[in-house]
């Protein structure tokens, strides 16, 4: 009798052990890995912010942020990026409901707003360089171009990624792999939006008051 009970207990425990050793769904693994990437990116930007805070007054007799920053242009940049984050969210909803036309539309709007943001940022850099405010002019400008330029590089990568993902939707449809990649893109784009809000506050708003 005891042998039968022991056998029954073993059979009851076996499925539980098997479920514990079952591999995690790929969607969960990809999401977890991408969150680790985003956190490492945030740590990198935190280091840039700390460096900028230390070097913001090291102008070496050169121009300061209050003399260089155009708040109107920066406000337009911020509006473009914030709205693009909203349209990116609408694109994610369209993907969830498998509406291809809506996905294309909101992807296009997100791209246009992101490209507008990037073009304004590049124009800002060119205007500063034309005034002699180059990265090698002072430690302050080196820190400024590093943190803002790094964010701009991320936006550029995001725009290229969006083009590639839109093409994949066109050729492959809403298959599981494409949906996972689009989810990762949306997380990436929203993270860039959060970083820009911090950058706008620390660099531009605090910069004009110095």
pLDDT digit string, tens, across residues 172-208: 988 988 888 898 999 999 999 999 999 999 899 887 6
On the CB side of 165, CA atoms within 13 Å amount to: 30
On the CB side of 77, CA atoms within 13 Å amount to: 25
Domain 30-208 in CATH 1.20.120.80? The answer is yes
CB 165 within 8 A of CB 185: yes
Q: State yes or no: pLDDT of 18 exceeds 90.
A: no
Q: What is the mean pLDDT of residues 35-43?
A: 89
Q: How far apart are alpha carbons 184 and 177 in whole angstroms?
A: 11
Q: How far apart are alpha carbons 19 and 16 in whole angstroms?
A: 5
Q: What's residue 24's pLDDT?
A: 63
Q: What's residue 62's pLDDT?
A: 85
- Check residue 25 and report its DSSP letter: P
Q: What's residue 100's pLDDT?
A: 92
Task: Measure the CA dihedral 119/123/192/34, to 10°.
Answer: 70
pTM of the model: 0.83
Q: What is the mean pLDDT of residues 41-45?
A: 92
What is the gyration radius of the CA atoms in the chain, in angstroms?
24
pLDDT tens string 90-139: 999 999 888 999 999 999 999 999 999 999 999 999 999 999 999 999 99
CB 188 within 8 A of CB 156: no
Q: What's residue 109's pLDDT?
A: 97
Alpha-helical runs (H) found in 56-99: 65-68, 71-96
**Checking phi first, is residue 25 left (phi over 0); if not, alpha (psi -120 to 50) or beta?**
beta
Q: What's residue 2's pLDDT?
A: 43
Q: What's residue 1's pLDDT?
A: 45
What residue ranges do the domains of the chain occupy?
30-208
Dihedral sign computed on CA atoms, order 175, 178, 184, 185: negative
CB 106 within 8 A of CB 87: yes
Chain centroid to Cα 172, Å, comes to: 25
Chain centroid to Cα 75, Å, comes to: 19
Q: State yes or no: pLDDT of 77 exceeds 90.
A: yes
- Check residue 23 and report its DSSP letter: P
């Amino acid at each position: 009798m005891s042998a039968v009970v022991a056998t029954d207990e073993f059979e009851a425990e076996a499925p539980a052990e098997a479920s514990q050793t079952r591999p995690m769904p790929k969607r969960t693994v990809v999401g977890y890995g991408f969150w680790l990437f985003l956190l490492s990116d945030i740590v990198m930007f935190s280091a840039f912010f700390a460096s900028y805070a230390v070097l913001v007054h090291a102008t070496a007799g050169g121009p300061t942020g209050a003399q260089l920053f155009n708040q109107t242009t920066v406000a337009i940049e911020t509006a473009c990026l914030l709205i693009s984050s909203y349209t990116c969210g609408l694109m994610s909803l369209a993907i969830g409901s498998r509406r291809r036309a809506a996905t294309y539309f909101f992807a296009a709007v997100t791209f246009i707003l992101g490209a507008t943001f990037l073009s304004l940022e590049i124009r800002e850099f060119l205007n500063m360089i034309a005034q002699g405010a180059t990265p090698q002019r002072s430690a302050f400008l080196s820190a400024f171009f590093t943190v803002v330029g790094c964010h701009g590089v991320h936006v550029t990568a995001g725009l290229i990624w969006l083009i590639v993902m839109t093409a994949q939707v066109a050729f492959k449809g809403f298959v599981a792999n494409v949906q996972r990649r689009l989810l990762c893109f949306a997380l990436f784009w929203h993270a860039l939006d959060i970083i820009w809000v911090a950058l706008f506050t620390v660099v531009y708003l605090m910069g004009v008051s110095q």
